[in-house]
């Protein structure tokens, strides 16, 4: 069983193996595919020390101050979460083989439309070894083959994880080529992006620069899982204590992920009352605040220690760190205009007790997920009851929001006749 090679001239052999494996995985009963995931969860639990050792090797090569450090980090608790996710995906409904429509034509033809697996799904991602498990699990469960191209900074962790996945596949008499880890050398990325004969779809998951590169150079169809520039708008009728708790959670709970808050928008009418309520939680977490002139003066009077004047570039910026920008606005219309200009169309939130303004905000904002009075940190496949996700799609074709099991399918027409000709 060849997992990958450090010294290869191209990845053609892996692409060929992936294409061939589509026939194998699509003919495996859904029950067995689910059982593979349950077995994988058991195996991961048995190999926690090995996984953590490999992860520590990767972590040792990264600066702890790097915002990607938390994304790279695996802990026993996070591995336990991955195992729970595997078991949750295993019991989800199989998305393939669903009958979407059926009709008998006047000429006697039976025309049916059903869901089928996409085929070969390639994912290019950075620094997050959990993605290796999430993607493999979703693809196996939905009858797809996956090609994993992780970042070099997670190489040792991904190597161990994919080795365990492939061992489970082999032990259960499933072609291990269903899940493959591609080498990280940049020269192979172009080959992957142009592999229209072998790869059905490519999904970039990572920084905006990675997403832009894949979109601009791929010949294979691309589904973007976009960067998250997430706003929380605190409207004048909001419960300010509740608003402060939501904002603190959205920024502090895990700042390195795409659903974390980046910009707080505050109605001018409540700025002097609301902003001081952020000081305690933000100070304890050492959140660096880039404030416009009004917010700066309020927080300066509160002697907030991690305060800077905002530049234009601080709005529309995905911080991925304990940093955020704050802007004070006159009304909801200004908030909507600001979000329309700077949003990445990921997740946007309004905190308000005005039902009409909530409805206006949620219907007007163009984003994959819109929230009223709740943290944007919930934009996640697991939190939405989808088991896991490949990423959060910010585009509108095929999938939007958590790109999970239900969207790893396409449609196929089945036409049955009895000698009809045209």
287 and 309 in contact (C-beta within 8 Å)? no
Residues 260, 275: Cα–Cα separation, whole Å: 19
The mean pLDDT of 402-414, rounded to a whole number, is 94
Structural tokens at position 219: 């010949």
Q: What is the DSSP string of 256-303?
A: TSTTSEEEEEEEHHHHHHHGGGGHHHHHHHT-EEEE-HHHHHHHHHTT
CATH number of 10-224+397-414: 3.40.605.10
The candidate with the shortest Cα–Cα distance to 395, out of 356, 367, 362, is 367
Strand partners, 350: 233, 372
Residues in the chain: 422
Burial label, 185 (beta-carbon count in 10 A; 0-12, 13-18, 19+): exposed
Mean pLDDT value across residues 167-175: 97
Beta strands in 126-268 (DSSP E): 145-149, 179-181, 201-205, 230-234, 261-267
Other Cβ atoms within 10 Å of 83 Cβ, number = 20
Q: Which string of b and e fits 281-299 if b means at least 16 CB within 10 Å?
A: bbeeeebbbbbbebbbebb
How far apart (Å, rounded) are the C-alpha atoms in residues 105 and 280?
69
| Mean pLDDT score, 31-50 | 98
- Mean predicted confidence (pLDDT) in 211-218: 93
List pLDDT tens digits, range 65-116.
888 899 899 999 999 999 999 999 999 999 999 999 999 999 999 999 999 9
Architecture of domain 229-380: 3-Layer(aba) Sandwich (3.40)
Residues in CB range of 290: below 8 A, 6 or more apart: 308, 309, 310, 311, 314, 323, 324, 325, 326
Q: How far apart are CA 403 and CA 224, in angstroms?
A: 10
Q: Parse the chain into domains and list their residue ranges.
A: 10-224+397-414, 229-380
pLDDT at residue 382, as a whole number: 83
pLDDT in tens, 293-331: 999 999 999 999 999 999 999 999 999 999 999 999 999
Question: 1 pLDDT exceeds 80?
Answer: no
Identify the pLDDT of residue 35.
98
Residue 264 pLDDT greater than 60, yes or no: yes
- Of the pLDDT bands very low, low, confident and very high (cuts 50, 70, 90), residue 6 is low
pLDDT digits (tens, 9 = 90+) for 339-391: 999 999 999 999 999 999 999 999 999 999 999 999 999 999 889 988 788 88
Nearest CA among 317, 353, 354, 360 for reference residue 336: 360
User: Could you tell me where the beta strands, DSSP code E, fall in 310-399?
Assistant: 323-329, 347-351, 369-372, 391-393
Q: pLDDT value at position 267?
A: 98
The C-alpha atoms of residue 369 and residue 392 are separated, in whole angstroms, by: 10
Residues 158-172: what's their mean pLDDT? 98
Integer Cα distance of 378 and 288 in angstroms:
23
Compute the half-sphere exposure of residue 115: CA atoms within 13 Å on the CB side of its CA. Answer: 16
d(CA 51, CA 154) in angstroms, rounded, equals 12
Average pLDDT of the chain to the nearest whole number: 94
| pLDDT value, residue 7 | 63
Residue 311 structure tokens: 């530049």
For residue 159, pLDDT beyond 50: yes
What's the pTM?
0.86
Structure tokens at 331: 């009304």
């Amino acid at each position: 069983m060849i997992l990958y090679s450090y010294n290869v001239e191209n990845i053609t052999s892996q692409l060929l193996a992936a294409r061939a494996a589509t026939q194998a995985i699509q003919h495996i009963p859904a029950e067995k595919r689910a059982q593979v995931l349950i077995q994988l969860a058991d195996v991961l639990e048995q190999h926690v020390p090995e996984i953590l050792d490999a992860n520590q090797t990767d972590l040792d090569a990264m600066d702890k101050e790097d915002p990607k450090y938390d994304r790279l980090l695996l802990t026993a608790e996070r591995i336990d979460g991955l195992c729970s996710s595997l078991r949750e995906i295993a019991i989800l409904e199989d998305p393939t083989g669903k009958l979407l429509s059926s009709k008998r034509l006047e000429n006697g033809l039976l025309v049916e439309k059903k869901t089928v697996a996409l085929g070969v799904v390639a994912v290019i991602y950075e620094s997050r070894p959990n993605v290796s498990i999430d993607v493999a699990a979703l693809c196996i469960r939905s009858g797809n083959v996956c090609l994993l191209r992780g970042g070099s900074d997670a190489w040792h962790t991904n190597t161990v994880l994919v080795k365990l996945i492939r061992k489970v596949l082999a032990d259960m008499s499933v072609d291990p080529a269903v899940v493959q880890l591609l080498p990280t050398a940049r020269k192979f990325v172009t080959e992957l992006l142009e592999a229209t004969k072998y790869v059905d779809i490519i999904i970039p998951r990572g920084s905006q620069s990675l997403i832009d590169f894949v979109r601009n150079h791929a010949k294979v169809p691309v589904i973007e899982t976009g960067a998250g520039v997430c706003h929380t708008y605190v409207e004048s009728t909001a419960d300010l204590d509740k608003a402060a708790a939501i904002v603190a959670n959205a920024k502090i709970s895990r700042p390195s992920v795409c659903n974390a808050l980046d910009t707080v928008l505050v109605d001018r009418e409540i700025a002097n009352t609301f902003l001081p309520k952020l000081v305690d939680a933000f100070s304890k977490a050492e959140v660096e605040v880039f404030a416009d002139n009004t917010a700066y003066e309020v927080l300066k009077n509160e002697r907030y220690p991690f305060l800077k004047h905002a530049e234009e570039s601080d709005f529309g910026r995905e911080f991925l760190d304990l940093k955020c920008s704050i802007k004070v606005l006159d009304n909801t219309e200004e908030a909507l205009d600001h979000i329309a200009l700077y949003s990445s169309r990921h997740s946007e939130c309004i905190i308000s007790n005005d039902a009409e303004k909530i409805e206006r905000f949620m219907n007007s904002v163009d984003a994959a997920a819109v929230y009223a009075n709740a943290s944007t940190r919930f934009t996640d496949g697991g939190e939405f009851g989808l088991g896991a996700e490949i990423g959060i799609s910010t585009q509108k074709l095929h999938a939007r929001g958590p790109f999970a099991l239900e969207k790893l399918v396409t449609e196929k027409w089945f036409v049955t006749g009895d000698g009809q000709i045209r």
